Structure 1
């Protein structure tokens, strides 16, 4: 299947031939659906914090930071913003062949943008670009100068560098909003705020230039020192593409086609970071300063929940790792099993009873020696995306998992009935602990579930192909973590999926 030239190409990418061969097999046999057992809900896998609990957890987190705990904020920011402007691109294309009034009548998203341009944070910059060219602010120019190199070129930029919010001293990008937000909960006792952004190679210079321009301003404004770093998705995590017969897809020059492996590839980037606590949040989920406080309170609250349970988890880790099973009492093992099942939300395989002390000890030792994450979950109000479920793992155990709709069997009435009863969804609001009781970092690549990948159909050069995504960052890539879910308010979830989302009250 692979020539010597192919093998050289694979090696030069930092990939392994065995990994590529496994990917080919995945195309042939497909990925299994993830069997969900129940939807997680408040009291059934999701913790609801009272105002008093939220305050206490936040104070616990603040105390740990004051004692030297190091926090870091991790923001996936690789994606281009082109999907935000799908309707506007269509309108710009249609303007070439149809009367403008017909296009605007048929394309409500474009009509709203054109009519309400002045409400956007980038409006003044766009109008200046049009005026500088001696042009009129026509409907066509409102689109053309936003999307293309004629003006702002937003159609080719990443979301993180678009102007989202207006302030008296100018407009802010999501990148800037993340810095401001991060300063409020990711700064250490010396007021150093650490943030890491994963970016595309072509966009990194833009992020670095903006950082150089605004860093001093925000450090003075917020009383912090920023430590901002960037990384790119590793070429070695790209996956091979195949044709519809599951043979390697080849470019016009005969070389193999590799495609980015999706956000699940970022587990490698996360694995390279060193911090006691890592917050994860998407680049487009930001709000202006006047609305930030609930997010800050709940970020600290989630971290406080993590720290509270981590203390006991570390106690059990220490005992299980430092003592022979014969030195551990039956009561201790029973307590550890109870904490694992009822607090860390991992249930043993059905009808599996650990009658032998050594067998129970080995099971507990394996399950306790894992990273810990706390995931915020929002009440379901019709937003798309994954959700919190009890799911069966490859070893037969049942645990809390973030499950995407594509992972659930669409033809199973029983599985879809569980989905219909789901009460919450995943807003991508995580706090992670990636070290053990000794302060040693885990190798996060060892806690993924390779069977939770995804196959989609694409095309290149007019030819159909199949692409493969790695297990998602917060589902399959973290499948074998110890997991807690905490309810967070809808006010903390304000993503921008289309340009007109910026006209919502949360972004004005």
Structure 2
């Protein structure tokens, strides 16, 4: 099946022929859609804590945290390109020499552009862009407004300017404090000081694109003194890249190996599910997972941090009970009373529907990584959410499911999805060590069947790509999972540049 050249390529990627054959079989056989039984809802898979209970859990975390190793894990490899989609369209469609800017902005399809230009001074990068433009064009203020706007966007996005188009999203200026700006990377550091620090040290791990590591390190050197002086916390930062051996091979629409013009195989990154390898390589008692762009300005950090403490307290509380049950099961011939108690705990506290019978099977359920997932009320944002799922063996479990995993052509499944009350903001608190303090091998708790196949193009040719089970859905499918409702204030992603105009991104 493979030429000598292809075999060499496969080996250079850290892969085997058997692995490529396995991927080809997935393309040919397809991936089963998730079988949604019902959306999770309050008191039906999602817990809601009273203010008193929140305070108890936050206090528990505060009391325990100095005895724990804490780590904040931040997926940060995304480029900022998609943030600026409508600005790219402006550069393509607006002709400064021919078009009147005021007329152009009145068109319905340009309403986001109008919002952007009307609010330019409120963006953290405005002063930076304007300063660069004035260096290049000393008489800038004499230019027609349309030309000024056009040059502003060019300076922002293109390689001849600040090159935001090829900048990691984490390093785009997000918030403005006086004359200074702070990136999402900087806000992640500041926030970590409020809940992920022990003995005045916060450990953070960022997954970045290999070509961007130097940029992150440079930015840290620039802000290290400021943020450490402000928080009285030292920061230890590590980085990792998506591993080549997690890449998947592309195929033609007919599911044959796709070969480029040189006869080479085409390998593609396999989505954020590949980061399971990176997560498996780090170790701590508690790992906080949060996307790079989900940050707030300083005014709101303590509110967000408090919710993290609540979730971490819930994790600690659950772990204590689970570890105690495991020790009892390992130490004695368990009584019927103990087995019944554990079965009730698994059903009520872990929301597991198909409760196994017998000591060994109960141990197997308890001896898993644990994650507490904050979920927010549905706002119509695109993305996954918490659902009760039935697997191919008929087992029921609560999972985070992406929309790409659901058959939108199935009216019943579509109807269930439309009833969803909550959304996954990627707000995870993870316990990855067992009752002996040993790190779990997280790769053993993934569901390899939970990936998905997508249609892409390469140099104008149609191809199919395979994505691994997503980090917070299929990759964690066999973890013990608890969903907890958290306030909307904790979910503030920046999907488009205009999101930076929202109140939480505008420091007071």
TM-score range, shorter chain: over 0.9
Residues 47 and 487 in structure 1, CA contact (< 8 A), matched pair in contact too: yes
Q: Distance in 1 between matches of 2:487 and 2:204?
A: 24
In the TM superposition, what are the counterparts of 1:304-343 in structure 2 within 5 Å? 304-320=313-329, 322-323=330-331, 327-343=333-349
Whether 1:17 aligns to 2:17 is yes
Distance in 2 between residues matched to 1:210 and 1:238, nearest whole Å: 29
Where 1:11 maps in the other structure, the secondary structure is helix
Residue of structure 1 in register with 2:31 after alignment: 31
> How many correspondences in the alignment?
495
Distance in structure 1 (CA, Å) of the matches to 2:455 and 2:344:
45
Name the counterpart of 1:45: 45
Q: Secondary structure at the match of 2:381?
A: coil
Structure-1 residue corresponding to 2:144: none
CA-CA distance at 1:100 after TM superposition = 4.6
Aligned equivalents of 1:54 and 1:140: distance in 2? 50
Task: Single out whichever of 108-117 and 92-101 deviates more from structure 2.
Answer: 92-101
Query: Which piece of structure 1 moves more, 109-118 or 457-466?
Result: 109-118
- Secondary structure of the equivalent of 2:382? coil
How far did residue 337 of structure 1 move?
1.6
CA distance in 1, matches of 2:12, 2:474: 27
Contact 1:114-1:142 at 8 Å conserved across structures: no
Give the secondary-structure state (helix, strand or coil) at the position aligned to 2:197: coil
- Structure 2 CA distance for aligned equivalents of residues 94 and 341 of structure 1: 58
**TM-score normalised to structure 1 length:** 0.94
Structure 1 residue 169, shift from structure 2 partner: 5.3
* Aligned position for 1:357: none
Post-superposition offset of 1:364? 1.3
Out of 133, 157, 164, the residue aligned to residue 154 of structure 1 is 164
Equivalence for 1:362: 360
User: Hey, what's the Cα distance between the residues in 1 that align with 2:40 and 2:232?
Assistant: 40
Q: Which residue of structure 1 aligns with residue 247 of structure 2? A: 238
Correspondence for 1:383 among 381, 402, 414: 381
CA contact (8 A) 2:194 2:302 kept: no
Structure 1 residue 140 and structure 2 residue 124: aligned? no
Q: TM-score, normalised by structure 2?
A: 0.94
Q: Select between 155-164 and 340-349 the one with higher mean Cα deviation.
A: 340-349
Give me the whole-angstrom Cα distance separating, in 2, the residues matched to 1:263 and 1:407.
Answer: 15
Deviation string for 1:351-393 (max 9, x for gaps)? xx84xxxxx2232122111100000010112122111111123
Unaligned runs of 5+ in 2: 142-147
**3-state SS in 2 of match to 1:345:** coil
The correspondence for 2:124, drawn from 121, 125, 134, is 121
CA displacement at 1:180 relative to structure 2: 0.2
> Residue deviations 1:227-248, cap 9 Å, x none?
1111100010011100111111
Structure 1 position 319, deviation (Å): 3.2
CA distance in 2 between partners of 1:53 and 1:15 (Å):
49
SS where residue 114 of structure 1 aligns?
helix
Q: Distance in 2 between matches of 1:305 and 1:84?
A: 35
Q: Is contact 1:104–1:110 with CA below 8 Å preserved after alignment? A: yes
Deviation track 1:55-85 (CA, whole Å, cap 9, x = no partner) reads: 111110111113x111110000001010001
Question: By how many angstroms is 1:155 displaced?
Answer: 1.0
Look up the match of 2:267: 258
Tell me the distance in 2 between the aligned counterparts of 1:23 and 1:274.
29
Match of 2:486 among 485, 488, 495: 488
Q: Distance in 1 between matches of 2:100 and 2:336?
A: 78
Give the alignment's Cα RMSD to 1 decimal: 1.6
Going from structure 1 to structure 2, the CA distance change for 1:16 and 1:323 (only over 3 Å counts) comes to farther
User: In the alignment, is the contact (CA less than 8 A) between 2:367 and 2:434 conserved in 1?
Assistant: yes
Which of 211, 215, 227 lines up with 2:224 in the alignment? 215
Partners of 1:313 and 1:213 in 2: CA distance: 44
CA distance in 2, matches of 1:55, 1:175: 29
- Asked whether the equivalents of residues 88 and 109 of structure 1 are also in contact (C-alpha less than 8 Å), the reply is no
